[in-house]
Chain A
């Protein structure tokens, strides 16, 4: 009985944590019945990736990655950072949601990476190109 109670308490704590880290838009969708919470058992073949995903659930970690991306002035450097810091689709979805980007179920890993790069780096490069301005910083270094 104690074990069962502990398990239930653990489950509720996990649920509370997930609710707190949910983006505002998702939370609204949840309240409106457009999103549903579901418990599912995942495989344990990729413990390192799962660990990283747990880190991603932390908004501070997401904010750090977003801030790092926004300091870059080169798409390739950004892509490299995203691939290094966020190896799963779930993790990419979390960053995209953190950046308030639209995420569709059919988005591939590559599509999500591209959305994230465009929203943090690409839009500045496009603007500079049209305005006839170029970044003085070498590829991959921080923008002024």
Chain B
């Protein structure tokens, strides 16, 4: 079971849409995928269920916020009990897509976790740091081996404690980015914070007494350029330099960029069925779907 965080420091790069399509196509190919929506915007959740259904069936007791709240109070709550299979997408896949919903109030969890940090001595500070940052990892460790092939965590565009929990729990990090100036700067911000988190965590884990923690080493699976404008079957000239520069900086970059298409992507979440699983007759739409499939194939080869 591989755990992958999907994150970029910069918002608006199509992260959630990419995560939904990746999960759907993996499930179509027979994989059992668990999606964990850690973004308080709840966009991934609303890509599979309606806000009304979320309000009636999940908001109160079946979201990741509920799990963090329970852990903070020392209550027992099985993280697996929060997962459900959205109907529409699971009607057309060979594998399965399960989802743990997010909550608009998840942003407050960060503040609550922050109050658990600190301590009277350095020893206590380090112990609390590990306890707070390992919370999600320990929750995901309770999932039975083989229950899922892949867990994709949709992270918010920040590096707060909830996001750090996702990174600590992850084997790999997938970075969607737009090939533009600010998005590529976001990749560098993320790289810096990843290095810092791994360094701090492992330093504390190494000196932790009583309950030693395993060091972490989540590595960058790759940068996937998303929402790319094409002309003549290649990204337009204004975008190509940013793709080339990211490669030159030594980051692994997916060969297959994903094309922008507002007509297709704008309304897909409303249907509960990601673009990649839709039936499209237009050549343009079919090409978009083909490109997502090429990206997923490359994704599978990179995690193999």
**Interface set of A (CB-CB < 8 Å, partner B):** 25, 28, 32, 99-102, 119, 123-124, 126-127, 130-132
* CB pair B248 A130 closer than 8 Å: no
* CB pair B237 A101 closer than 8 Å: yes
B188 near A: Cβ within 8 Å?
yes
Q: How many interface residues does chain B have, given as a range?
A: 10 to 19
Chain B nearest CB, measured from A22 CB (Å): 15
8 cross-chain pairs, A with B, having the tightest CB-CB distances, nearest first: A130-B188, A102-B237, A123-B245, A131-B192, A102-B238, A127-B188, A119-B241, A127-B249
* CB pair B188 A100 closer than 8 Å: no
In the bound complex, residues from chain A placing their C-beta under 8 Å from that of B230 are: none
Q: A102-B238, A119-B241 are in contact. Are A132 and B192 (CB under 8 A)?
A: yes
Chain B nearest CB, measured from A97 CB (Å): 9
B92 near A: Cβ within 8 Å?
no
Among B191, B195, B245, B249, the residue within 8 A (CB) of A119 is B245
B1 near A: Cβ within 8 Å?
no
In the bound complex, residues from chain A placing their C-beta under 8 Å from that of B244 are: 100, 119
| Whole-angstrom CA separation of A32 from B233 in the bound complex | 13
B240 near A: Cβ within 8 Å?
yes
* CB pair A130 B241 closer than 8 Å: no
Chain B nearest CB, measured from A31 CB (Å): 10
| Whole-angstrom CA separation of A32 from B192 in the bound complex | 44
| Whole-angstrom CA separation of A4 from B245 in the bound complex | 49
| Whole-angstrom CA separation of A101 from B242 in the bound complex | 10
In the bound complex, residues from chain A placing their C-beta under 8 Å from that of B145 are: none
Q: Given A101-B237, A124-B248, 19 other A-B contacts at CB below 8 A? A: A25-B237, A28-B232, A32-B232, A99-B241, A100-B244, A102-B236, A102-B237, A102-B240, A102-B241, A119-B244, A119-B245, A123-B248, A126-B185, A126-B188, A127-B249, A130-B185, A131-B191, A131-B192, A131-B195
Within 8 A of A (CB), among B179-224: 184-185, 188-189, 191-192, 195
Most B CB contacts (10 A, CB to CB) among A25, A99, A119, A131 go to A131
* CB pair A123 B238 closer than 8 Å: no
In the bound complex, residues from chain A placing their C-beta under 8 Å from that of B188 are: 126-127, 130-131
* CB pair A123 B237 closer than 8 Å: no
In the bound complex, residues from chain A placing their C-beta under 8 Å from that of B248 are: 123-124
| Whole-angstrom CA separation of A86 from B192 in the bound complex | 37
Chain B nearest CB, measured from A140 CB (Å): 20
| Whole-angstrom CA separation of A131 from B196 in the bound complex | 10
Closest A residue by C-beta to B186: A130
Chain A nearest CB, measured from B279 CB (Å): 32
Closest A residue by C-beta to B189: A130
In the bound complex, residues from chain B placing their C-beta under 8 Å from that of A132 are: 192
* Contacts A/B (CB < 8 Å), 6 sampled: A28-B232, A100-B241, A101-B241, A119-B241, A123-B249, A124-B249
In the bound complex, residues from chain A placing their C-beta under 8 Å from that of B249 are: 123-124, 127
| Whole-angstrom CA separation of A25 from B239 in the bound complex | 14
Chain B nearest CB, measured from A94 CB (Å): 15
Closest A residue by C-beta to B234: A25
| Whole-angstrom CA separation of A4 from B109 in the bound complex | 84
| Whole-angstrom CA separation of A132 from B244 in the bound complex | 22
